[in-house]
A and B are shown apart, each in its own frame.
Chain A
Amino acid sequence: SQQGEEDPQALSIQEGENATMNCSYKTSINNLQWYRQNSGRGLVHLILIRSNEREKHSGRLRVTLDTSKKSSSLLITASRAADTASYFCATVMNTGFQKLVFGTGTRLLVSP
């Protein structure tokens, strides 16, 4: 079963614009991760944010986490056509094993 929802389900923007994706989850977590998936391929890890962190940056990526609202957002700045992909959030709960529970994903299309 999916942990939560991502919003929007699909997003279409022009190169150079910023893209924001939101993720909501249901249970308390140890950390939250964002992954990218190009069409028909496996997933690639982008960034991890711990439950005691509020914001994290990696290159053109900015992730925020609000544990009181059980939500996270991923911002991609100055988007490129190569950023076209599906983006998934995944949560890890405070259990003994690193089990990822994925959201439903946002499909991002960046047009040249």
Chain B
Amino acid sequence: EAEVAQSPRYKITEKSQAVAFWCDPISGHATLYWYRQILGQGPELLVQFQDESVVDDSQLPKDRFSAERLKGVDSTLKIQPAELGDSAMYLCASSLRSTGNLAKNIQYFGAGTRLSVL
């Protein structure tokens, strides 16, 4: 069964360092999402891509976070510089296409990257 691939699974870094996470969505999925999940809470959307274009980055802290999906396939999320409060699980998800019949598409999640900032 096709899966969303994420790497690394775990990342430990010191504050002020740069970190990057990678996501490869399910083949054929046009929409890609990055979520941040703080321990004990539900995931919160950071950025959503439709193909290579950003369609929602309203919750992305743009002073330190950036995301790209240059060829409309895999994606990278970067944090520079990392802060203590960035410690969380970063989840990537994909879906076929997020427009049209909203009740048809469901999101498939990767296993996530657990980030610890020391």
Interface residues of A (CB under 8 A from B): 1-2, 30-31, 33, 35, 40-45, 48, 50, 88, 90, 92, 94, 96-105
Contacts and interface: CB of A to CB of B under 8 A. Distances in A.
B111 A94 contact: no
Interface string B39-66: 0111111001010000110000000000
B114 A40 contact: yes
Contact of B102 (A1, A42, A92): A92
Contact of A30 (B50, B55, B103, B106): B103
A30 B46 CA distance: 21
Contact of A97 (B48, B89, B114): B48
B110 interface: yes
Given A97-B50, A98-B102, A43 B91 contact: yes
A2 B36 CA distance: 12
B114 A45 contact: no
Nearest to B43: A102
B102 A94 contact: yes
Interface in B20-42: 31, 33, 40-42
